[in-house]
């Protein structure tokens, strides 16, 4: 999806897209993740293993919660010629709020 100036600088738009992606991953819904990737064309290194993991979670009797711990951008893009890599770390843990 092309840069949306409503978000301000390019790096803010990237941050918003990345946050949306993290939010979708936290739902644990592999179909929503696939839709996100298709709609926004955001390149996520490891998207295939993430999709496989989300499919596994969907079929797992134990409810697992995905929680993101940290997010960073290597470079804040100021123009379309700049490049940036974002990093995120997450943990998966048994969701204590649900009964198994």
Backbone φ, ψ for residue 96 (5° rounding): -75, -10
Specify whether the CB–CB gap between 70 and 90 falls below 8 A.
no
In a domain, 12, yes or no: yes
**What tens digit of pLDDT does each residue of 30-54 get?**
999 999 999 998 889 999 999 999 9
Question: ∠20-7-47 over CA atoms, to 5°?
Answer: 30
SS3 (DSSP) at 99: coil
Domain tally, the chain: 1
Q: Are strands 86-94 and 64-73 parallel, antiparallel or unpaired?
A: antiparallel
**What tens digit of pLDDT does each residue of 64-83 get?**
999 999 999 998 998 888 88
In a domain, 100, yes or no: no
In a domain, 46, yes or no: yes
The overall average pLDDT reported for the chain is: 90
Instruction: Tokens for 64, please give them.
Output: 């697992």
**What tens digit of pLDDT does each residue of 18-29 get?**
999 999 999 999
Residue 35, domain extent: 5-94
In a domain, 99, yes or no: no
In a domain, 36, yes or no: yes
pTM of the model: 0.85
In a domain, 63, yes or no: yes
């Amino acid at each position: 999806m092309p840069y949306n100036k409503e978000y301000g600088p390019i790096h803010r738009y990237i941050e918003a897209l990345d946050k949306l992606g993290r939010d979708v991953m936290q739902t644990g819904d592999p179909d929503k993740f696939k839709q996100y990737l298709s709609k926004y064309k955001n390149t996520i290194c490891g998207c295939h293993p993430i999709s496989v993991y989300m499919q596994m979670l969907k079929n797992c009797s134990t409810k697992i919660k995905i929680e993101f711990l940290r997010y960073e951008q290597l470079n804040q893009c100021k123009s379309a010629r700049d490049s940036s890599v974002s990093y995120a770390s997450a943990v998966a843990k048994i969701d204590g709020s649900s009964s198994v």
